[in-house]
Amino acid sequence: MLTYQDMLTAVEKGKLLTFLRDAITQHRNSDDYKLAVAADEYDHQRNTTIRETIRRIYSLTGKPMEDFTASNNRIASNFFRRLNVQRCTYSLGNGVTFDEDGVKEKLGDTFDTDLYDAGYKALIHGISFGFWNLDKLHVFAYPEFVPFWDEETGALRAGLRYWCLDWNKKPLYAVLYEEDGFTKYRSKGGRAGLSLEEYEPKRAYRQTIAHTEADGDEVIGEDNYTSLPIVPFWGSNRKQSTLVGMREAIDSYDLIQSGFANDVNDCAQIYWLINGAMGMDDDEVQQFMDRLRLQHAAVADTGDNASVTAFTQEPPYNAREAYLDRIERSIYRDFGAFNPMDITSRQATATEINAAYQPMDEEADDFEYQCIEFVQQILKLQDIEATPTFKRNRISNQSEQVTMVMSEAEVLDTETILELLPNITVDQIPEILARRAAENADKTPLIEDES
């Protein structure tokens, strides 16, 4: 790992460009980078283990060979994306709110969606990075950003974002973010490769620009934030991708599912017994079997009493179904996710639904702790102190929940009642309260001045 102190040393020796090249190379070769790239593949329902699976047969000498006659279905499940979307939507699907007035407006119109993007990338990659650019949050994914951590404090002190459309043909672009500004780099001469050159000098994060008809736009002032305006967003306190631990279970599920489809297509459980084959050798038997699989007909050089008898064996359907069901439940349980199949078979009570959500609530507590840390660091860059709150997005027995809330309405204030009602979102509450206040003001009778 190259650190912030390593970067300072490279600057002192005049070898910053070499340092940046080495940082990109080391980043792309790291285990965390490869895991993040694999997580992106699983997120797009491209199971890398299934895609690389090759069905093999073995010769009499034990040499493995690819079986070109066998089907090779590669059925990838969507567990990884489904469960991560569930966890992220559960906490961030309704956006973020603040008790303090005016805070949300200072974060911009797209902050909720940008925060969701940062949270989702933090889950699947283990970490994401939020760059606060004046009034907009930009999200950097781990595969495109090299963090430089402080060896003493562990804080993020600088970072390098890089991208390239084609590593073999197109130039590389990179931006080095430091506490006193950012600098842009690209491949030398606009050619492909990791040899970088500076093409835009360092500038401050905030600029004051004056416009005149004669001179156009002119920078008249620059300043920076009190710290690096890039904040790390961890997906959990374990600081690792959600693919860790889940990958093997997903692979097992997909392999069983794909194997079952292959067996059905190939009739792999059918075999033939050949009588009177006039001493066929192994190669001739294999040729005979290949013709049966590919052409569904074959001729054997047999004697007068020769025969070919087919025997079938039913695929172990029940055993595989039971295993798939078991491992699916295991994936939901280990991830701490909500499995709707546990309650959809009947009309579940609110108590039963809450019990089914308990594992998910525990994981959400961990995730929301990271969300709060991230948002507060973004607010600190703007000298704002506030605590974000989240309304969890969950299914419920709404009629039962509404009945319970209304039975307690006499001892609750209007805002609390609205917060507890399941069919009202957090953003609707201020509007409802404002309309209620306006209606009450219209109904207030005027008191005439009797003097």
Structural domains counted in the chain = 3
pLDDT value of residue 276: 64
Provide DSSP, 410-438.
Answer: GGS-HHHHHHH-TTS-TTHHHHHHHHHHH
The answer to the question of residue 406 being in a domain is: yes
pLDDT (tens digit per residue) in 371-383: 999 999 999 999 9
What range does the domain containing 180 cover? 4-234
CA gap 105, 107 in Å, rounded: 5
Parallel/antiparallel/unpaired status of strands 307-312 and 270-275: antiparallel
The DSSP output letter for 446 is: P
Q: Select, from the ranges 102-106, 346-350, 427-431, the one with the highest average predicted confidence (pLDDT).
A: 102-106
- Which one of 312, 335, 370 terminates a domain? 312
Rounded to whole angstroms, how far apart are CA atoms 112 and 152?
A: 34
CA distances from 50 to 4, 29, 38, 215, 328 (A): 40, 23, 13, 62, 17
Do 55 and 99 have their domain in common? yes
Mean pLDDT of the chain: 83
Give the range with max mean pLDDT: 24-33, 247-256, 384-393, 407-416.
Answer: 24-33
Residues 190 and 93 in one domain: yes
In the DSSP assignment, the letter for residue 263 is: H
Q: Indicate the residue type of 67.
A: D
Q: pLDDT tens digit string along 57-69?
A: 555 566 666 655 5
Which among 115, 179, 49 is positioned nearest to 368, based on CA atoms?
Answer: 115
d(CA 370, CA 119): 9
Find the DSSP H helices in 312-383: 317-335, 350-380
406 and 289 inside one domain:
no
How many angstroms separate the Cα of 245 from the Cα of each of 233, 250, 252?
21, 9, 12
Q: How confident is the model at residue 436 (pLDDT cuts 50, 70, 90)?
A: confident
145 and 194, same domain (yes or no): yes
Q: Is residue 214 domain-shared with residue 306, that is, in the same domain? A: no
Same domain, 51 and 113: yes
**Position 386 in a domain:** no
Q: 22 Cβ partners below 8 Å, 6+ apart?
A: 2
> What is the 8-class DSSP label of residue 370?
H
20-24, 176-180, 403-407: least confidently modelled range? 403-407
* Same-domain pairing of 167 and 294: no
What is the model's pLDDT at position 365? 92
The conformation of residue 193, written as its DSSP 8-state character, comes to S
Whether residues 217 and 132 fall in one domain: yes
DSSP reduced 3-state for 223? strand
What DSSP line would sit under 62-101, residue for residue?
A: --EEE-TTS--------HHHHHHHHHHHHHHTT-EEESST
Q: Which residue has the higher pLDDT, 172 or 268?
A: 172
Same structural domain for residues 185 and 303?
Answer: no
pLDDT at 223 (0 to 100): 83
Judge if 91 and 230 occupy the same domain: yes
**Contact at 8 Å (CB) between 412 and 388?**
no
- Distance between CA 142 and CA 28 in Å, rounded? 10
Top pLDDT among 118 and 338 is at 118
148 has a pLDDT exceeding 90: yes
CA distance linking residue 20 with residue 18, whole number of Å: 5
